[in-house]
Structure 1
Amino acid sequence: MSKSSISEYLLSSPETTDLYERATQSQFLNLAGRGQLPSEVLSQWLSQDRLYAQAYIRFIGGLISRVQLPTKVTDQEVSKTLQWRILSLLKNALSGITRELQFFEETAKKYGLDLEAIGPVAEGGNLSNKSAVFAPNKVTQDYIDLFDSFSAQPHGDSEKTLLDGLVVLWTTEKVYLDSWTYAKQETPQNIDPKGDLDGGALRKEFIPNWTSEEFQAFVKECQECLDAWAAFQDGDTEEVIASGSMTIFKKVLVLEESFWPMVA
């Protein structure tokens, strides 16, 4: 890994090629891009994504608590240090996710989507059964547990480092961007979104938001901060950093693959 950044290493590894494709090119995304997702299915997924976003707030708070700004006065202003850059990134992440939650509510109201939709649960391989109450499904709960492992006690794990958290942050955001970019590429040209099964919610509102230049710039900043912070570490060898980061990267990809609902 000595000649490449940590993000390049993770993305280019033969270990993750197929897994990354499955995590970012699901049938759910294909149908979403073509306007063929029924409002009920979109509501079920969006309601889980909203719970994910709420846990993300605690996750970002946990990462902020791990940023140690330099205390020693040097020729370099604190505001120009890597730690300050990471803190600014996390501040933007927090602002972004609060806007996102508001966006969910406004768009759901506009298109008649249910943000407490009860989705199917796996039971003996049958996904037609519905859970009795609105709650996180298994994969959403796994994501919540991952995020909360970086938060304050009693759920947090003090051994998890800022580097670990930056790997999680970048991976989740990078996969989200690439997933909806794939959906956008599947979008047919010159077809009015008003005729979509969701009334145009995805193609008019959600997909443009999740593939915007602003979001692309945020993901790029996540990547650059991760790469810089990984290179800044001197307590572990490159091999240890690469191995630990790969474990986290794979875990998030597995979660993301499962986060997209199974659709016909």
Structure 2
Amino acid sequence: MQLLNKLLRRPEPDSQPKTTLTAHLLSSTQAEYQAATQSPFLLAAAQGRLSKPVLGRWLAVDRLYFHSYIRAAGRLLASLDLPQGVPKSGEEEAAETRLVDWIVEDLVRIREVERQLVDVAARYGIEIGVEGGREVGPVKPGEGGVGGLPGVSAMEEILESVAKPEEGGVEVKSHPTAPAVLPWLEAAVMFWGTERCYVDAWSWARERQVVVGRGEEGEAVAGDDDADGGALRREFIPSWSSDELRGFVARLGDIIDRAVDAAVERGGKEVRAEVLRRVEGKWRSLVVAEGGFWPVVE
């Protein structure tokens, strides 16, 4: 009888403060996150001090990262188990369905960003190449990482791990006979984290631009004497720090938080503990890798 009562006992409610998962992750790595989003490279970009060769090498690395990102998105799409039933009238679509919508939009956006990168570089006379003068293509990281940036190698390893089961990863279950809780969670957190770091980093740079002119709406305007000819401050920074991009990233954060909240409400504090155990270490690794994504500048 005791065994039966134990099996029938409902999960103990989670009595912890209602902090969303994404808010918890951001607050858990404040120092590392600051290093990842407030680097000297970003400050130099804001002040128009990055030369065309330095910017060109970083753009090449960024483009290689896009390619790894696209492959990771494809693996995540292939791994998602979409609901077979049709939602009832007025019922919200499943988190997995909304995640598919977001990823598809994200792939289109990434390709647009890559095209912009190539177009702007051509117009401003910036050669896109990695260390050693090679053009963009398959580049194997050396001891110093891709393009001399160790964080890029770490980021590529993180991207390569997307949707691949591993010990302590997506196959962890809260109950031996229950399906994994949100098996796509780690991958979604990775995509949200890298995009959130990116938009926060370039927003920080935008706020620190040196004003050398004034646009019609009072925004800082790059001068022709910028070391890169104005490519960053006229073209890239406004695009990479836009409200549209921030809202797009927030959509994914909302998908994650609402799915986790619903799972915790169903499964109690044990599910919350499992979720945190699965994602906290991966989140920290991601943020540390993001900090190594920026070149060292004087």
Shorter-normalised TM range: 0.7 to 0.9
Q: Give the TM-score normalised by structure 1.
A: 0.85
Contact in 1 for aligned 2:152/2:292 (Cα 8 Å):
no
Name the residue aligned to 1:126.
none
Could you say if the C-alpha distance between residues 198 and 79 of structure 1 is closer, same or farther in structure 2, counting changes exceeding 3 Å?
A: same
Aligned residue type for 1:56: Y
**Runs of 4+ displaced beyond 3 Å:** 76-79, 134-138, 156-161, 232-236
* TM-align CA RMSD: 2.3
Q: In 2, distance between residues paired with 1:79 and 1:231?
A: 15
2:229 corresponding residue in structure 1: 199
Q: What's the counterpart of residue 124 of structure 1?
A: none
Measure, in 1, the Cα distance between the counterparts of 2:212 and 2:296. 28
Match of 1:168 in 2: 190
Flag the 1:135–1:28 CA change in 2: closer, same or farther, 3 A: closer
Return closer, same or farther for 1:79/1:240 CA change in 2, 3 Å cut-off: closer
1:74–1:224 Cα change, 3 Å: closer
Superposed, 1:124-203 pairs within 5 Å as: 137=148, 138-150=150-162, 156-157=164-165, 159-160=169-170, 161-191=183-213, 192-203=222-233
Unaligned runs of 5+ in 1: 121-130
Q: Cα distance, 1:82 vs. partner? A: 2.3
* Contact kept in structure 1, 2:146 and 2:152, CA below 8 Å: no
Matches within 5 A, 1:220-235: 220-233=250-263
- Paired with 1:58 and 1:4, the residues of 2 have a C-alpha distance of 32
**Residue identity opposite 1:69 in structure 2:** L
Q: Is the 8 A contact 1:50 1:115 kept in 2?
A: no
Q: Which moved more, 1:167-176 or 1:58-67?
A: 58-67
236-245 vs 176-185, greater mean Cα deviation: 236-245
Alignment partner, residue 271 of structure 2: 237
**Counterpart Cα distance in 2 of 1:182 and 1:119:** 31
1:73-115 CA distance string (max 9 Å, x none): 5525898332221111011111111111111111111112222
2:42–2:201 contact (8 Å) kept in structure 1: yes
**Count of residue correspondences:** 246
Distance in 1, matches of 2:284 and 2:89, equals 37
User: What TM-score do the two structures reach when normalised by structure 2?
Assistant: 0.76
Which amino acid in structure 2 is aligned with residue 24 of structure 1?
T
Identity fraction in percent: 30
The structure in which a higher percent of residues are helix is 1
Task: Choose from 16, 19, 27 the match for 1:4.
Answer: 19
Contact 2:57 2:147 (8 Å CA) reproduced: no
- Structure 1 Cα separation of the partners of residues 243 and 292 of structure 2: 27
CA distance in 2, matches of 1:252, 1:225: 19
Structure possessing the higher radius of gyration over alpha carbons:
2
CA distance in 2: counterparts of 1:241 and 1:58, whole angstroms: 25
Q: Which runs of 5+ in 2 are unaligned?
A: 1-15, 134-141, 171-182, 214-221
Q: Secondary structure at the match of 2:285?
A: helix
Q: Does structure 2 retain, via aligned residues, the 8 Å contact 1:79–1:85? A: no
1:66 Cα offset (Å): 2.5
Which residue number corresponds to residue 248 of structure 2?
218
1:207 deviates by: 0.2
